Amino acid sequence: MSEQLLLQGQLLGIEEFLLSPSGFPDTDGEELLPGRSMWATLLCEVLPRGLLAELGLPRIMLGSSGGGQFLLVLPGTSRAAAEAVLERAAAEIATLGSSLRLIWSATENLGDWTVVRRRLNDELRRNRDAPLAAGAQGVFDAFEAAVPKPSPAFTAHLDANIRQASSVGWSPESPATILIGEGKHTWKLTPNLSLEGITLARHAAPSEEGSGPANLATLAARAQGARAWGVLRGDVDSFGIRLRRVASIEEHVQISVLYKQFLENELEVLCSLPDFWRRVTILYSGGDDFAVFGAWDALVALAREMQRLFSRFTEENLKEFPGAEGKTITMALALAPDSDASLSSVYRAAGEDLERAKTSNRDCCCLMGRTLEWKRVSDAADLKDTLLRMAAQFRSSRQFLFELRGLYGKPGSQKIWRFQRRISAILSGSRDREVQKMRARLVNEIIGRHKTEVNLRPAGLVALDWAWLASEI
């Protein structure tokens, strides 16, 4: 009986690849970002399945896949053949430029899982940190710079093709190429969990004609209030630590698949609801993160709903696991600064905001340029509704919001009576009891309940900017 082998693969440099300049002539790269993200998502689904099929091994030997990595169980006699396929895939991926790399590690499935995992990760780390260890001959020789050219691995229309395809294929001759509906081995694309198919979140808001995905201008026009679009990115907090704490390979696979299925299924279901299906397009859904773009107000609502569902998901499925790791999620929403902004630039801005939010805190959301805990996001939403109701009492609601917004340009140590006098001047002329109650609540929500000094809350500024966008015609 041959030994059992665990093989772990990882795709590095995905972020740089998504944002790298286009290799296609006459394109600005904007339409390539969705296609590249779909390609990167599918590659770590198709490649391990194709590898198993090529070796004549059953699907059950696929432990986990997607999210830029995969884990396989192989007989020891298949190691050389498996690495030959991966080497061809790595060579093809290297032609895409940027810093995209496929690396892998393999070890015998002997001993405790923590020991096996350490061996896998140590080899993976060596391959990542020392890419020339396998052979550096000729690396420093003089060479002529190659002219960038389109790769056969994907085309400018790959995004639309994948979103409309019923199946994808793979062939060992081009192991890094995603084939649409053809190839030596094929698999169905399904929105729900399937043992024989590949689950893929690929909803796209339809264009007005219904012939393809809506462009950025169309998504912005479908927003309520300001005609603006944005990118929402989310990432599970400390997911890697959660995986490192599992005690067996069965738990590792269970946790990996559980998170991946949740993100894919919930995103697909949410985006099919009436509030989102014409206004939001999915960029990708990974093992512990996701990205979508669309109308700005739809993205705010989507972020809050995803956080609510994720909180319920962890309460029901991770209650037996100690610690807070992997049980919270952080998101960031970046809005396009103008109508000429590219999808890649806003996607990059959302990533930078997400990184800052996760560095300073966790279980939070970067909204309107401010990082708030999720509870404060709900407070900002309630305050935004209060502001809009109060603005409706005045002939110039935009001027009312502008005056309130100006308070944040003043020093935060103003005496409370000065703040009260200014806001009373803004709201003067109304003796309606409901308006006066809303005014008192507004003051408390924006500055807190300090009796001597004003401490302007970030949630108040988020609510003001939110109301400003919502009231724009």
pLDDT at 72 over 50: yes
Q: How confident is the model at residue 23 (pLDDT cuts 50, 70, 90)?
A: very low
How many other CB atoms sit within 10 Å of the CB of residue 395? 6
pTM of the model: 0.88
- pLDDT tens digit sequence for 109-158: 988 999 999 999 999 999 888 766 655 566 667 766 555 455 555 566 78
Q: For all residues of the chain together, what is the average pLDDT?
A: 85
Say if strands 229-236 and 198-199 run parallel, antiparallel, or are unpaired: unpaired
Coil, helix or strand at residue 182:
coil
How many other CB atoms sit within 10 Å of the CB of residue 461? 20
d(CA 151, CA 95): 7
Question: Mean pLDDT across the stretch 20-25?
Answer: 58
CA atoms within 13 A on the CB side of 32: 19
* Residue listed under structure tokens 């801005």: 349
Question: Mean pLDDT across the stretch 445-461?
Answer: 61
Does this chain's domain 4-131+150-190 share its CATH topology with 202-367? yes
∠ Cα 403 408 414 (to 5°):
100
Question: Mean pLDDT across the stretch 215-233?
Answer: 96
Look up the CATH number of domain 202-367.
Answer: 3.30.70.270
- Return the structure tokens found at 160: 């639309």
4-131+150-190 placed in CATH 1.10.3470: no
* Residue listed under structure tokens 């003051």: 443
Residue ranges per domain, the chain?
4-131+150-190, 202-367, 379-471
Tell me the CA distances in angstroms from 240 to 95, 266, 325, one per residue in order.
Answer: 30, 21, 8
Sign (positive/negative) of CA torsion 306, 307, 311, 314?
positive
pLDDT of residue 331: 98
- pLDDT tens digit sequence for 244-283: 999 999 999 999 999 999 999 999 999 999 999 999 999 9
How many other CB atoms sit within 10 Å of the CB of residue 216? 19
- Asked if 234 and 330 touch (Cβ cutoff 8 Å), the reply is yes
